[in-house]
Structure 1
Amino acid sequence: MKLYYYINTGHRIGLDRLRRSAPVINALSDMGIEVSMLTNDFRAGEYAKEQFGIRKYVSVDVVRNIANIATPADALVFDSEEESRAMWADMATYFRSFIRISDNPDDFAEAGEILISSMKSIGDAPKADIVDPRYFEATDHGDERIYFWGDDDYDQELLRVADAFEGLDITLLEGYYFFMQYGSELAGKFKSVEDSENYDEVLMHAGRFLSSSPQSVLEALAAGSNPLYLKKSGISVAWDAKMESLGIPVLSSFDKDAIEQALSATLVYRKKVLRKEAASEVATYIKDNLR
């Protein structure tokens, strides 16, 4: 039996699921389980190798092609909302073990599958509040205000709302899939622009970290970087309640006055809700459910 770990990634999707899945894959590897990461594009695999030390990765252009790589004797972890319940049921029947990770609070497990949720407790499954352990390390924080849209902006939506950041002394942290020279186009609206290669350093030392990427907000919370969540289109509203449960302010629009007020406020976060051990706990649960 081989274990495959599929993650929905790409220049229209971003890398949020990869950022939470990579530490689980590393924890599984530390337990002696050989895991092959499956991503939607080669660049995501390269990022996983460079930033998380993932050794084995393969790009899969469509979900149905997973069956061209894996066999019925193998196990599949599926971190994605792609396809349909009928497809998930087929996967549960086809693979020796099928474990799905979901961000939908109304989701439920089909017959034969195992469900892990980031939004609710399901049986004895650990909640998928996964942040790479490195973000829990103590760091010094300055006064820098950072904004991170996310790793993807294929339709250049940020450019259309960037006026909201002008004059607020905010530095833009570029996304991994940003177009060449896109940062230059945005530069006039921000204090400065940081390359995506500096993601960890910038996030972990920020004084305030404003982001439209839910996973990056969680990482900033773990790092003590005083995050704020600025909603953008296409992200499930379920994340609003998630952020509020952690004491993270949710800004519903790209409004300059609202952003400035939120950045100046003194906030009390529930950082202890996130646990450094979460990745290893999810990995252990996956290992224990490999038939």
Structure 2
Amino acid sequence: MNTYYYVHTGHRIGLDRFRRACTIIRSLGDVDITLLCSDFRIANEARHFGVDKAVGVDVVRNIPQIAKHGDKLIFDSEEANPIMLDDMRKFFSAFIRISDDTNDKKEEREFLVSPYLSGNGICNAVVVDDKYFKQQEKTIKLSYFFGDDDYEKDLEKNISFIEDLNPDLLLGFYYFLDYEDSLKKIFKNHHEFEDYDDVIQKSEILITASPQAVLENLASGGKPIYIQREDYTTDFQELFKKMNIPIIKNYEKCQLLTTLKTLETREYYNVEHNSNKLQEFIKENLNL
């Protein structure tokens, strides 16, 4: 009986779920678990994120080609319809689903991890790695991380939104080579994808369209500002409002400037340090 973790990731949706998956897998310690990624490229890089076993499966329907009936699965994706999810609950002996949907509900034969819901069989938690709770000196005044994916080059299309603020730019994982080169000419202070942790932890103010980066910067003692992309889920808006994290929509420059002027007096809520609770929940319900 094997344990798997499936995560939806790729060049059109970014690495937010992947980063969350790696955080959870690392928190489980020496548990034998295989990460299944819907993108082969990041599966090959998973070892650099502390995950020893990772396999690219291309699409969610390929999971049964690797897993067997009776295996265990942690599932982080919005790809599956209700019928497919019900089949998974029957196929796996234990099934944990990660959800960001405020309107979600726990179904029979599954366990749920959610920042919104609570109750029997549900772990109410926000997933942030322990390393981000170790405060570091904020040596970067202002940084900009659009995200790991920008297939349509929206960062460049909306460059006026951020350019004259002269932020440090953190490049994303799926950026094209020619795209990276053009961005480096615009942003003289730029950081490679491999510097992600350093930039997130050392940024006093982080402007980002990555929900996971928002949570990690906040845990690090920073002041994140969330950019709601049109092509991204709005599921995190309610959570960020509860944490008093400013949300900018439609690249509204005036709103961003006003937010930056008032940021010093804004009271952010702390991210709960709940890795132990999450680890215990997963191990108990997967019988690990």
TM-score scaled by structure 1?
Answer: 0.92
Amino acid at match of 1:27: S
CA deviation vs aligned residue, 1:149-184 (integer Å, no higher than 9, x gap): 111111212221111112112122111111112133
Q: What secondary structure, in the 3-state scheme, does the structure 2 residue paired with 1:144 have?
A: strand
1:201 aligns with 2:203: no
- Which range is displaced more, 172-181 or 113-122? 113-122
Amino acid at match of 2:268: Y
The answer as to whether partners of 1:25 and 1:283 remain within 8 angstroms in 2 is no
Counterparts of 2:140 and 2:171 in 1: how far apart (Å)? 19
Q: What secondary structure, in the 3-state scheme, does the structure 2 residue paired with 1:4 have?
A: strand
1:45 aligns with 2:11: no
Q: What secondary structure, in the 3-state scheme, does the structure 1 residue paired with 2:120 have?
A: coil
Identify which of 218, 233, 244 aligns with 2:241.
Answer: 244
The answer as to whether partners of 1:36 and 1:56 remain within 8 angstroms in 2 is yes
Q: What secondary structure, in the 3-state scheme, does the structure 1 residue paired with 2:143 have?
A: strand
Q: Which residue is 2:183 aligned to?
A: 186
TM-superposed deviation, 1:239:
1.2
Q: CA RMSD in A?
A: 1.7
Q: Which residue is 2:18 aligned to?
A: 18
Counterparts of 1:77 and 1:212 in 2: how far apart (Å)? 25
1:286 aligns with 2:288: no
Counterparts of 2:58 and 2:5 in 1: how far apart (Å)? 15
Unpaired runs of at least 5, structure 1: none
% identical aligned pairs: 38
Counterparts of 1:257 and 1:170 in 2: how far apart (Å)? 17
Alpha-carbon spacing, 1:190–1:256, altered in 2? closer, same or farther (3 Å): farther
Counterparts of 2:71 and 2:233 in 1: how far apart (Å)? 31
The answer as to whether partners of 2:140 and 2:168 remain within 8 angstroms in 1 is no
Counterparts of 1:144 and 1:43 in 2: how far apart (Å)? 33
The answer as to whether partners of 1:172 and 1:194 remain within 8 angstroms in 2 is yes
Q: Which residue is 1:107 aligned to?
A: 104
The answer as to whether partners of 2:140 and 2:199 remain within 8 angstroms in 1 is no
The answer as to whether partners of 2:167 and 2:187 remain within 8 angstroms in 1 is yes
Q: What secondary structure, in the 3-state scheme, does the structure 1 residue paired with 2:149 have?
A: coil
Identify which of 213, 218, 231 aligns with 2:215.
Answer: 218
Amino acid at match of 1:185: S
Unpaired runs of at least 5, structure 2: none
Amino acid at match of 1:38: L
The answer as to whether partners of 1:168 and 1:260 remain within 8 angstroms in 2 is no
Q: How many residues are treated as equivalent by the alignment?
A: 285
CA deviation vs aligned residue, 1:44-101 (integer Å, no higher than 9, x gap): 2244311x31111111111111101111121011011112010000000111111111
Amino acid at match of 2:161: A
Shift >4 Å, 4+ stretches: none
The answer as to whether partners of 2:5 and 2:35 remain within 8 angstroms in 1 is yes
CA deviation vs aligned residue, 1:170-221 (integer Å, no higher than 9, x gap): 1221111111121332345545322111111111111211111111000000
Q: What secondary structure, in the 3-state scheme, does the structure 2 residue paired with 1:158 have?
A: helix
TM-score scaled by structure 2?
Answer: 0.93
CA deviation vs aligned residue, 1:261-286 (integer Å, no higher than 9, x gap): 22232121111x421xx233222212
1:3 aligns with 2:3: yes
